[in-house]
Amino acid sequence: MDFSFNEIQMMLQDSVEKFIANDYDFDTRQQYAASDLGYSAEVWQLFAELGWTAVPFSEGDGGFDGGPVEMMVMMQQFGRGLIVEPYLANIVLAGGVLRRVANERQKTKWLRPLIGGELQSALAFVEPQARYELNNVETTATADGSGWILNGSKGVVLNGGNAGLLIIPARTSGASTDRQGITLFAVGGMANGVTRRPYATVDGHQAAEISLRDVHVDAGAVLGEVDSGLAILEAAIDDAILAVCAEAVGIMQIITDKTVEYSKNRQQFGVPIGSFQALQHRMVDMLTACEQSYSLLLWASLAAADNSDESSKAVSSLKYQIGTAGQKVGQEAVQIHGAMGVTWDLDIAHYFKRLTTIAHMFGSADWHLDRLARL
Amino acid sequence: MHVTFSEDELAFREEVRAFFRDQMPAGLMEKQAENIPLDRDDHVQFQKALFRKGWAAVNWPVEYGGTGWNIVQKHIFDVEMANADVPNIIPFGLGMVGPVIYTFGSEAQKKRFLPDILESNVWWCQGYSEPGAGSDLAALKARAERQGDHYIVNGTKTWTTLGQYADWIFCLVRTNSDVARRQEGISFLLVDMQSPGITVTPIITIEGDHEINEIHFENVAVPAENLIGEEGKGWTYGKVLLQHERTGNAGVARTNYRLTRLRAQAAKSIRGSAPLLGDHNFMRKLAAIEVELKALEFTELRTLAAVASGKAPGPESSILKLKGTELQQATDALYVEAAAYYSLPYVPDQYVAGFPDQDRIGEGGETLTSLRYFNFRKASIYAGSNEIQKNIIAKHVLGL
């Protein structure tokens, strides 16, 4: 048993940490988030040059062969830096599908430019009626000669507005909630019949509503096997849960530190507010929540790395923990900062908002607790 | 002891319902229904409608233009107002400075200020908190120095809600620093916002709106006649006002209305999804908040009954503030849960008149749920943070 990072993991952590310290302070982050693109194209290019966009991909695909632990190390730092660049959408979600099922031709066309930082992509895994059920897919793909015609709507597609590649789960057979009959399609963002309504999300990221009307794709657009896309989708979403939970742990740790620091400096009644026992105990609870969350993050990341039977249990446990403890830590950080905590100009507010959106992505705390109860 | 309404009270309820149904300013209810933010004039016109009906100053004594209602009538009014989904009465004039003026002000001040407050001709804001004086309000440093028949005010007030609309501000200022207790030497001063030397700087809140402000005073000359009561007694006057504020902060009727709406929404299919009514976890959470809210409703009625029998709202008002804001926030969190992914889009721009329905993201106000949730984290911070309320209860109720 060994919980220490290896040399590569240490290097990865150091390099992301240094980048944030030198080039990605909170004001810079806010400027990128407020820009037309919603993130910095230069920073994205830098991520590619530094090899960060290659981390989870195999060496054969031009990747770095990193696993869940390497991703965890990076995402935790991304959380601390409150990074708005679309790493989750591109590398974890779309990349998660491509690296599992793309054939050589598809890898050349989509995966290599993705790793190279030249292609923006999105995985449209939410449908407006589906809430958190990945198998609830009403978008249809009907065979048309050797190709397919897609029709339907996708909601809150992360990075959907900027994406040159949209991965669309569509129903090729079965009823709207059947597990069988879902096929994944690679669709060009500018394809005929694709309408996108992009917007910012409350956490400073980007998403879009997407409608597909008679979108024609050829047979080469099918990613993996026809009718068997759900398992791939679920695997990519499990990756994403690990990634956002690592990000959330990074956030929880930094806002706990910042709150403790603030409580030592903020004077009221002639003393630092951190001297009040009522607040001390609550900050102890915040720290405990951080430690418990990090422990589950390690369990889930290691279980995924080992392809353990416990992996989905660990993922749901972690997401439940982050959905509850993460919200609590975020609320307490805001509360202890007082009115400062609810101002736009202070980073605490934005960390809290990101923790909130993470809590409501990929299944809420209750949704995952239900899943655990059924296991 | 009973909790049923008499015939007269039922008739009164009908009158209140009819008023909110039939006599609201043009366009107001459409804005409310479509979640369109209200501007200054919307609030003023709404309050003027109340004034015309004689219902602007619910809690004021009749001699100053108040309703003279008993607690049952006030309760009915509160509930019907929430259920009609009309705006809240902006509290700074009618709820806060008005009662201070008629309780502690001179005859001349009553004549000068009360009619305009009653008629919503003048918009007031509150100058209490300062950058260095939040929970510890008595640490306030803004000072007013007497020079002839004026006070010269210097300092900074902050978190001033809707100060950008205000014509006047009521302030706690330090008139004497050479005092044994910090609470002494504080005075209650009324200041015209048009006075030279005042600047208003917006503060953008967590969800991106301009609701609060920082107000700077640089050598602002304020006529000495604008001092309320005695110099150095401002803390006492201000505390009375805060207790009124806290009683009003429970928001029981509003939260109840929001829960009722959430229940109704849960029965419906949104965008073809399965109704939340079938989600046991969600409905249990909703029911648990309803239980606590019902308890708070009775706690509030008991407090109001005590006030009606002649007691000033005491430290128990802290319990109302504490619990009321917790339940508001729990309700807000539940709305976010109901919206799920549609709590993510940040699209406040779509809540404008005439925005085409088919282009709107999320159903109804779904995309506003997270913004409200974020914004209302303020509720456990403002009007004396909930930690301060617990201190008050520990000290003044439990004697610890």
Planar angle of CA A362, A25, A285, nearest 5 degrees: 55
Select from A344, A356, A361 the Cβ nearest to the Cβ of B205.
A344
Q: Where in chain A is the domain with CATH 2.40.110.10?
A: 122-229
pLDDT digits (tens, 9 = 90+) for A160-202: 999 999 999 999 999 999 999 999 999 999 999 999 999 999 9
pLDDT digits (tens, 9 = 90+) for B254-283: 999 999 999 999 999 999 999 999 999 999
Select from B206, B281, B336 the Cβ nearest to the Cβ of A366.
B281
pLDDT digits (tens, 9 = 90+) for A75-106: 999 999 999 999 999 999 999 999 999 999 99
Tokens coding B326: 């917790």
Cα gap B92→B72, rounded to integer Å: 24
Residues in B closer than 8 angstroms to A278, CB to CB, are 387, 390
* Average pLDDT value for residue range B183-202: 97
Instruction: State how far residue A29 is from chain B, nearest Cα, in angstroms.
Output: 16
- Are B112 and B189 contacting, i.e. CB atoms less than 8 angstroms apart? no
Q: Which residue of A has its CA nearest to B338?
A: A131
Cα gap A158→A95, rounded to integer Å: 13
Task: Give the residue from A48, A50, A26, A86 showing the smallest Cα distance to A251.
Answer: A26
Cα gap A18→A28, rounded to integer Å: 15
Cα gap B89→B163, rounded to integer Å: 16
Q: Which residue of A has its CA nearest to B385?
A: A338
pLDDT digits (tens, 9 = 90+) for A20-75: 999 999 999 999 999 999 999 999 999 999 999 999 999 999 999 999 999 999 99
Three-state DSSP state, B256: helix
Please give the pLDDT value at position B213: 98
Cα gap B386→B8, rounded to integer Å: 38
Task: Give the residue from A289, A216, A280 showing the smallest Cα distance to A249.
Answer: A289
pLDDT exceeds 80 at position B393 = yes
Q: Which residue of A has its CA nearest to B345?
A: A201
Instruction: State how far residue B368 is from chain A, nearest Cα, in angstroms.
Output: 10
* Average pLDDT value for residue range A285-312: 97
Please give the pLDDT value at position B333: 98
Tokens coding A363: 């299944």
Tokens coding A153: 């709507």
Q: Which residue of B has its CA nearest to A361?
A: B341
Select from A126, A200, A339 the Cβ nearest to the Cβ of B134.
A339
Task: Give the residue from B8, B2, B1, B48 showing the smallest Cα distance to B25.
Answer: B48
Mutation site, A123, A360, A370, interface B, largest B CB count within 10 A: A360
Task: Give the residue from A121, A58, A51, A126 showing the smallest Cα distance to A86.
Answer: A121
| Other CB atoms within 10 Å distance of the CB of residue B180 | 7
In whole angstroms, how far apart are CA B190 and each of B97, B215, B367? 9, 14, 40
Domains of chain B, by residue range, sit at: 7-89, 124-232, 249-397
**B124-232 matches B249-397 in fold:** no
Residues in A closer than 8 angstroms to B341, CB to CB, are 126, 131, 155-156, 360-361
A353 contacts B342? CB cut-off 8 A: no
Q: Please provide the CATH number assigned to the domain covering A122-229.
A: 2.40.110.10
- Are A331 and A341 contacting, i.e. CB atoms less than 8 angstroms apart? no
Instruction: Show the 3-state SS of chain A.
Output: CCCCCCHHHHHHHHHHHHHHHHHCCHHHHHHHHHCCCCCCHHHHHHHHHCCHHHCCCCHHHCCCCCCHHHHHHHHHHHHHHCCCCCHHHHHHHHHHHHHHHCCHHHHHHHHHHHHHCCCCEEECCCCCCCCCCCCCCCCEEEEECCEEEEEEEEEEEECCCCCCEEEEEEECCCCCCCCCCEEEEEEECCCCCEEEEEEEECCCCEEEEEEEEEEEECHHHEECCCCECHHHHHHHHHHHHHHHHHHHHHHHHHHHHHHHHHHHHCEECCEEHHHCHHHHHHHHHHHHHHHHHHHHHHHHHHHHHCCCCCHHHHHHHHHHHHHHHHHHHHHHHHHHCHHHHHECCCHHHHHHHHHHHHHCCCCCHHHHHHHHHHC
Cα gap A243→A249, rounded to integer Å: 10
Pick the CATH number of B249-397 from 2.40.50.140, 3.40.50.1000, 1.20.140.10, 1.10.940.10: 1.20.140.10
Pick the CATH number of A231-374 from 3.40.1550.10, 3.30.499.10, 3.10.20.30, 1.20.140.10: 1.20.140.10
Three-state DSSP state, B398: coil
Please give the pLDDT value at position B246: 62
CATH architecture for segment(s) B7-89: Orthogonal Bundle (1.10)
Tokens coding A358: 């993470």
Please list the residues that pair with B172 across neighbouring strands. B188
Instruction: Express as a percent the part of chain B with pLDDT over 90.
Output: 86
End-to-end CA distance of chain A: 27
pLDDT digits (tens, 9 = 90+) for A253-287: 999 999 999 999 999 999 999 999 999 999 999 99
- Are A131 and A267 contacting, i.e. CB atoms less than 8 angstroms apart? no
- Are B361 and B350 contacting, i.e. CB atoms less than 8 angstroms apart? yes
- Are A245 and A283 contacting, i.e. CB atoms less than 8 angstroms apart? no
Pick the CATH number of A7-120 from 1.10.1050.10, 3.40.50.2000, 1.10.540.10, 3.40.190.290: 1.10.540.10
Select from B134, B282, B347 the Cβ nearest to the Cβ of A338.
B134
pLDDT digits (tens, 9 = 90+) for B344-359: 999 999 999 889 888 8
Q: Considering only residues 262 to 321 of chain B, which have any Cβ-Cβ distance to chain A shorter than 8 Å?
A: 269-274, 279, 281-282
Instruction: State how far residue A332 is from chain B, nearest Cα, in angstroms.
Output: 10
Instruction: Express as a percent the part of chain A with pLDDT over 70.
Output: 100
B346 contacts A202? CB cut-off 8 A: yes
What is the assigned CATH class of domain B124-232? mainly beta
Query: Is the overall model pTM greater than 0.95, yes or no?
Result: yes
Q: Which residue of A has its CA nearest to B208?
A: A344
> For the range A274-279, what are the long-range contacts, defined as Cβ-Cβ under 8 Å and sequence gap of 24 or more?
A276/B387, A278/B387, A278/B390, A279/A336, A279/B387
Tokens coding A212: 């597909």
Q: Which residue of A has its CA nearest to B340?
A: A360
Cα gap A183→A19, rounded to integer Å: 39
Cα gap A312→A316, rounded to integer Å: 6
Cα gap A356→A204, rounded to integer Å: 12
Cα gap B285→B269, rounded to integer Å: 19
Cα gap B224→B109, rounded to integer Å: 12
Q: Which residue of A has its CA nearest to B362?
A: A128
Tell me the DSSP string of B331-346.
HHHHHHHHHGGGGSB-
Query: What is the average pLDDT score of chain B?
Result: 94
The phi and psi torsions of A134 (rounded to 5 degrees) equal -70, -25
A197 contacts B136? CB cut-off 8 A: no
Tokens coding B331: 């309700």
Cα gap B94→A123, rounded to integer Å: 53
pLDDT digits (tens, 9 = 90+) for B223-253: 999 999 999 999 999 887 776 666 667 899 9
Cα gap A113→A107, rounded to integer Å: 9
Select from B129, B337, B345 the Cβ nearest to the Cβ of A199.
B345
B374 contacts A156? CB cut-off 8 A: no
pLDDT exceeds 70 at position A333 = yes
pLDDT exceeds 80 at position B386 = yes
Cα gap B113→B260, rounded to integer Å: 39
pLDDT exceeds 90 at position B308 = no
pLDDT digits (tens, 9 = 90+) for A302-330: 999 999 999 999 999 999 999 999 999 99
B341 contacts A360? CB cut-off 8 A: yes
Q: Considering only residues 119 to 138 of chain B, which have any Cβ-Cβ distance to chain A shorter than 8 Å?
A: 129, 132, 134-136
Chain-centroid distance of CA B189 in Å reads: 21
Q: Considering only residues 358 to 387 of chain B, which have any Cβ-Cβ distance to chain A shorter than 8 Å?
A: 359, 361, 370-371, 373-375, 377-378, 380-382, 385-387
B374 contacts A352? CB cut-off 8 A: yes
Instruction: Express as a percent the part of chain A with pLDDT over 90.
Output: 99
Three-state DSSP state, A302: helix
Q: Considering only residues 97 to 116 of chain B, which have any Cβ-Cβ distance to chain A shorter than 8 Å?
A: none
Q: Considering only residues 195 to 224 of chain B, which have any Cβ-Cβ distance to chain A shorter than 8 Å?
A: 203-208, 212
Cα gap B329→B380, rounded to integer Å: 8
Band of residue A219 on the pLDDT scale cut at 50, 70, 90: very high
B345 contacts A207? CB cut-off 8 A: yes
Residues, chain A, total? 375
Q: Where in chain A is the domain with CATH 1.20.140.10?
A: 231-374
pLDDT digits (tens, 9 = 90+) for B156-174: 999 999 999 999 999 999 9
pLDDT exceeds 80 at position B314 = no
Tokens coding A335: 């509360």
Select from A128, A268, A353 the Cβ nearest to the Cβ of B134.
A268
A352 contacts B135? CB cut-off 8 A: no
B282 contacts A366? CB cut-off 8 A: yes
- Are B299 and B317 contacting, i.e. CB atoms less than 8 angstroms apart? no
| Other CB atoms within 10 Å distance of the CB of residue B349 | 8
- Are B114 and B211 contacting, i.e. CB atoms less than 8 angstroms apart? no
